[in-house]
C-alpha cells in the first residue's frame, strides 16, 4: 500500500486558454478513502486520469509513496481502475474477466484461481464465476469490475463514478458494500463522483473541486458544518443550504425583504469595504425552527409556503421569502429560488400560508460577498 501526493499538479490541454486542473495540492494517506467531488466539467475525472497516467501532467508532480510517477507509464504505477461502464469482456466468464489482468502478467493458473476465488468470496460472487456478464445484474457486473481490481492487489484503487449506471436503490446498497470493502482491504482509494450524497456517506475525507481549483478538503462532517466558501456550502448537502445576500445595517442586523437576521460582532468586523455593505448568510433546512404564533421576534424569517414534500420520517417545506423575492447564493449560475425547511411530518400549514422560522443557535453561516469565503462565527 502507499500514499498519493499531488504536488501543484496541473493539466492544460493544447490550445486551451486556462488549465483544466490548476495547481492541485493534495495528499491521500496510506489506506485512506478520499472522494473527489464536484459538478460536471470541474476536472475531477481528469485529476484521476492524471494519477492513472492516462493524461499528461503539464505542471507539478504526482507521487505514489515516495516514487515520482509524473512521467511513468500507467503499467508502472501499480494502480487498478474501476470504470463507470464496467468495461467487462462479454465473451469471457466472470472468472476469466476477474483473472484476465493476472493472466496477461504471466501469473500461474493456480495463483490466478486462488486470487479470483478469494475475491469472489469477498464480493459474494462465487456462484456466478462461470456466468458471462450478460447473465448478471448491473450490481453484480459492478462487483465483477471491483473483483478484477482486487485480484491485482494494487497500491491504489481509482474509481471513476462506478455507481452512475445503477438504479437508486442499488446505488445505496452498492456504495455501502464498496466503502466496507475498502476499509477491509485497506487499499488507498481515490473515488470520483458528482453525487455529494455518495461523497458524504463513503469518504474518510472529501476534496471539492470547481473549475479545476481545489475548494476545500476535510472530513464529511467538517465540510457539512464549516464549509470554506459559498460554493462548498451550496454544493454539499441535500437539500442544499439556503443562501441569501443580505444588506448589513449599522445596528448589526442583516435584512432581506421582511427578514431581519442578527450578525455576530466577529462576522461584522470581518466585512470589508469591498463587500459593499452586503453579507451572504446561509442556513441549512434542518438549521431552521418554526416559530409559534405570537412569538415572532427579531431573527424570525417569514416564509410563504409553496410545496410540502412528505418523506414519512420527516418533511421538507418549500417556500419563498415574504417581501423580498428569491434568495440567491450570490452565484448567478446557481440561483436558489426557494427556502427549504426540514420539519416533523404532518406539521405543515396550508399551501400559500405564511409561517415564521428562526435560525437555530450555531446554525448560521456567514460569507463575504466579495470573496465568497467564510467569515468568523
| Whether residue 76 is found in the same domain as residue 203 | yes
Residues 213 and 19: their CA atoms lie apart, in Å, by: 9
* Beta partners for residue 319, in sequence order: 305, 339
**Cα–Cα distance, 224 to 207 (Å, whole number):** 12
Element (H, E) at 46: helix 44-52
Q: Would 372 be classed as within a structural domain?
A: no
- State whether 8 and 63 are in the same domain: yes
CATH number at residue 148: 3.40.50.300
Q: Say yes or no: 308 and 331 in one domain.
A: yes
Q: Are residues 217 and 268 in the same domain?
A: no
What single-letter DSSP state applies at residue 120?
H
Higher pLDDT, 336 or 224: 224
Cell digits for 88? 467487462
Are the C-beta atoms of residues 223 and 216 closer than 8 Å to each other?
yes
What pLDDT does residue 86 have? 82
The answer to whether the beta carbons of residues 166 and 174 sit under 8 Å apart is: yes
Q: What is the predicted pLDDT for the residue at 169?
A: 82
Residue 374 lies in a domain: no
The answer to whether residues 55 and 134 belong to one domain is yes
Confidence of residue 324 (pLDDT cuts 50, 70, 90): low
What domain count does the chain have? 2
Digit-coded pLDDT (tens) for 170-196: 888 888 888 888 998 899 999 999 988
Specify which of 183-187, 336-340, 342-346 reaches the highest per-range mean pLDDT: 183-187
DSSP tag of 155: S
What DSSP designation does 102 have?
A: H
At residue 102's C-alpha, the angle toward residues 99 and 107, to 5°, is 120
Dist CA 304 CA 109 (whole Å) = 69
Query: Is 375 within a domain?
Result: no
Range with lowest mean pLDDT among 134-143, 229-238, 282-291: 134-143
How far is the C-alpha of 120 from the C-alpha of 126, rounded, in Å?
5
Q: What percent of the chain has pLDDT over 90?
A: 65
Given 197, 228, 259, the domain boundary residue is 228
Last residue of a domain, one of 175, 199, 228: 228
b/e sequence 281-319, b meaning 16+ C-beta within 10 Å = bbbbbbbbbbbeeeeeeebbbbbebeebeeeeeebbbbb
What is the pLDDT of the chain when averaged over all its residues?
A: 90
Same domain for 188 and 59? yes
pLDDT at position 91 over 50: yes
Other Cβ atoms within 10 Å of 59 Cβ, number: 15
In a domain, 131, yes or no: yes
Residue 195: CB atoms within 10 Å: 17
User: How far is residue 315's CA from residue 157's CA, in Å, rounded to a whole number?
Assistant: 38
Burial class of residue 10 (count of CB atoms within 10 Å of its CB; 0-12, 13-18, 19+):
middle
Residue 334 belongs to domain with CATH number:
2.40.50.140
The residue among 228, 263, 284 that closes a domain is 228
Half-sphere exposure of 56 (CA within 13 A, CB side): 4
Q: What is the pLDDT of residue 333?
A: 36
Cα-based distances in Å from 168 to 143, 144, 182: 16, 19, 21
Q: Quick check: 209 pLDDT over 60? A: yes
In a domain, 345, yes or no: yes
Residue 89 lies in a domain: yes
Residues 175 and 309 in one domain: no
C-alpha–C-alpha distance, residues 99 and 346, integer Å: 54
- Which residues are within 8 A (CB) of 121 and not within 5 positions of it... i.e. 6 or more apart? none
- Write the CB contacts of 361 (distance below 8 Å, at least 6 apart in sequence): none
**302 and 166 in a common domain:** no
Band (pLDDT 50/70/90 cuts) for residue 281 is very high
User: Are both 237 and 218 inside the same structural domain?
Assistant: no
Question: What was the pLDDT predicted at 7?
Answer: 97
240 and 154 in a common domain: no
- Domain extent at residue 288: 232-367
Amino acid at each position: 500500500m502507499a500514499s498519493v501526493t499531488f504536488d501543484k499538479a496541473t493539466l492544460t490541454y493544447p490550445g486551451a486558454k486556462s488549465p483544466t486542473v490548476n495547481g492541485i495540492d493534495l495528499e491521500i494517506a496510506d489506506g485512506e478513502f478520499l472522494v473527489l467531488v464536484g459538478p460536471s466539467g470541474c476536472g475531477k475525472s481528469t485529476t484521476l486520469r492524471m494519477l492513472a497516467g492516462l493524461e499528461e501532467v503539464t505542471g507539478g508532480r504526482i507521487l505514489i509513496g515516495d516514487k515520482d510517477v509524473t512521467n511513468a507509464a500507467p503499467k508502472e504505477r501499480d494502480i487498478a481502475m474501476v470504470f463507470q461502464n464496467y468495461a467487462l469482456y462479454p465473451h469471457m466468464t466472470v472468472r476469466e474477466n476477474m483473472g484476465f489482468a493476472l493472466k496477461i502478467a504471466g501469473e500461474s493458473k493456480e495463483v490466478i484461481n486462488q486470487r479470483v476465488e478469494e475475491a469472489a468470496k469477498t464480493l459474494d460472487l462465487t456462484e456466478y464465476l462461470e456466468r458471462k456478464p450478460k447473465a448478471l445484474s448491473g450490481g453484480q457486473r459492478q462487483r465483477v469490475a471491483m473483483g478484477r481490481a482486487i485480484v491485482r492487489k494494487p497500491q491504489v484503487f481509482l474509481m471513476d463514478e462506478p455507481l452512475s449506471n445503477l438504479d437508486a436503490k442499488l446505488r445505496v446498497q452498492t456504495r455501502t458494500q464498496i466503502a466496507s470493502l475498502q476499509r477491509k482491504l485497506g487499499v488507498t482509494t481515490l473515488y470520483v463522483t458528482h453525487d455529494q450524497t455518495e461523497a458524504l456517506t463513503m469518504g474518510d475525507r472529501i476534496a471539492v473541486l470547481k473549475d479545476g481549483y481545489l475548494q476545500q478538503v476535510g472530513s464529511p462532517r467538517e465540510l457539512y458544518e464549516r464549509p470554506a466558501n459559498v460554493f462548498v456550502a451550496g454544493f454539499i448537502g441535500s437539500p442544499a443550504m439556503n443562501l441569501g445576500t443580505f444588506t448589513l445595517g449599522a445596528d448589526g442586523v442583516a435584512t432581506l425583504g421582511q427578514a431581519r437576521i442578527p450578525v455576530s460582532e466577529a462576522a461584522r468586523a470581518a466585512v470589508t469595504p469591498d463587500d459593499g455593505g452586503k453579507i451572504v448568510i446561509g442556513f441549512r433546512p434542518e438549521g431552521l425552527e418554526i416559530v409559534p404564533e405570537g412569538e415572532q421576534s427579531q431573527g424570525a424569517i417569514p416564509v410563504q409556503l409553496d410545496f410540502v414534500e412528505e418523506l414519512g420520517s420527516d418533511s421538507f417545506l418549500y417556500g419563498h421569502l415574504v417581501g423580498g423575492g428569491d434568495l440567491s447564493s450570490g452565484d448567478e449560475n446557481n440561483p436558489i429560488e426557494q427556502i427549504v425547511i426540514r420539519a416533523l411530518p404532518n406539521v405543515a400549514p396550508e399551501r400559500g400560508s405564511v409561517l415564521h422560522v428562526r435560525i437555530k443557535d450555531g446554525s448560521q453561516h456567514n460569507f463575504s460577498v466579495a470573496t465568497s469565503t467564510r467569515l468568523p462565527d
